[in-house]
Amino acid sequence: MTTDHDPENTGREQIDVRRGMFGARGSGDTSGYGRLVRRISLPGSSPRPYGSCFDDLADALEDALGASSGAGFAEAVEKIVVFRDEMTIHVRRQHLPRVALELRNHPALRFELCLGVSGVHYPEETGRELHAVYALMSITHNLRLRLEVAAPETDPHIPSLYDIYPTNDWHERETYDFFGICFDGHPALTRIEMPDDWRGHPQRKDYPLGGIPVEYKGATIAPPDERRAYS
């Protein structure tokens, strides 16, 4: 269960209750765990002090955003979550490039390397269903942190970080391909894994399982949505 007391974070937000091993609905649960019930929750904002070096990082970012032109720290950052000795800064999507630029350039931060962007789909988090998560590393200070940005399915647009972290080129294309997040400003946002004429985004949780029968050593294995369900 994900709602047990957590000494690192007490403000968890429950977004769903899932039944079965994978939480699939309408496709048949072939795992044998159809009666399993799990409450799905997300960590809430962490209180100060964060511990370790995280307070210094937050202070440096607040100073950097306050010293530059544009919105301040409170307008750009939704919350900071410190969970299991990892720091995630949740940023409002319109301020993502500016926050990333300060994280890269400020002498006390120097997160020079972005290790890529991953998509996440929370269908139950209304108005914030799609998330993009960026793993950053400071080679100078040997530190890591994450940026996380949310967008609704009805407006799945997030600014591209290609100009700040060019290594995100293929990662943003892959996240677009699988999750349908549009990275505005990317020089060539096209599919990279699926065929160009593919319909939908296969790693969204509401994407149909589908599939085709597979022959294996003389036996035919049915596609996932036609397999036997256990109840």
pLDDT tens per residue across all 231 residues of the chain: 333 334 444 577 787 787 776 555 655 555 656 678 888 787 888 999 998 899 999 999 999 998 766 668 999 999 999 988 999 999 999 999 999 999 999 999 999 999 999 999 998 889 999 999 999 999 999 999 999 999 999 999 999 999 999 999 999 999 999 999 999 999 999 999 999 988 899 999 888 776 767 777 888 877 766 766 655
Distance (Å, whole) CA 131 – CA 139: 26
Residue 230 within any structural domain of the chain: no
Q: What is the dihedral of CA 144, 171, 149, 40, to 10 degrees?
A: -90
Residues 32 and 60 in one domain: no
Residue 55 within any structural domain of the chain: yes
Q: How many CA atoms lie within 13 A of 210 on its CB side?
A: 9
Residues 100 and 187 in one domain: yes
Q: Is the distance from CB of 158 to CB of 93 less than 8 angstroms?
A: yes
Residues 20 and 116 in one domain: no
Residue 154, domain CATH? 3.30.460.80
Residues 131 and 221 in one domain: yes
Residue 2 within any structural domain of the chain: yes
* Number of domains within the chain: 2
Residues 51 and 71 in one domain: yes
CA of residue 73 relative to chain centroid, distance: 21
Residues 95 and 7 in one domain: no
Assigned token pair, 137? 């590393």
Distance (Å, whole) CA 191 – CA 172: 10
Residues 158 and 185 in one domain: yes
Residue 115 within any structural domain of the chain: yes
What pTM value is reported for the model? 0.80
Residues 29 and 67 in one domain: no
Residues 70 and 133 in one domain: yes
Domain range holding 98? 45-225
Which residues are within 8 A (CB) of 13 and not within 5 positions of it... i.e. 6 or more apart?
Answer: 41, 42, 44
Residues 35 and 50 in one domain: no
Residues 209 and 189 in one domain: yes
Distance (Å, whole) CA 53 – CA 28: 47
Residues 165 and 177 in one domain: yes
Phi first, then psi, for residue 140 (nearest 5°) are: -60, -45
Which residues are within 8 A (CB) of 24 and not within 5 positions of it... i.e. 6 or more apart?
Answer: 209
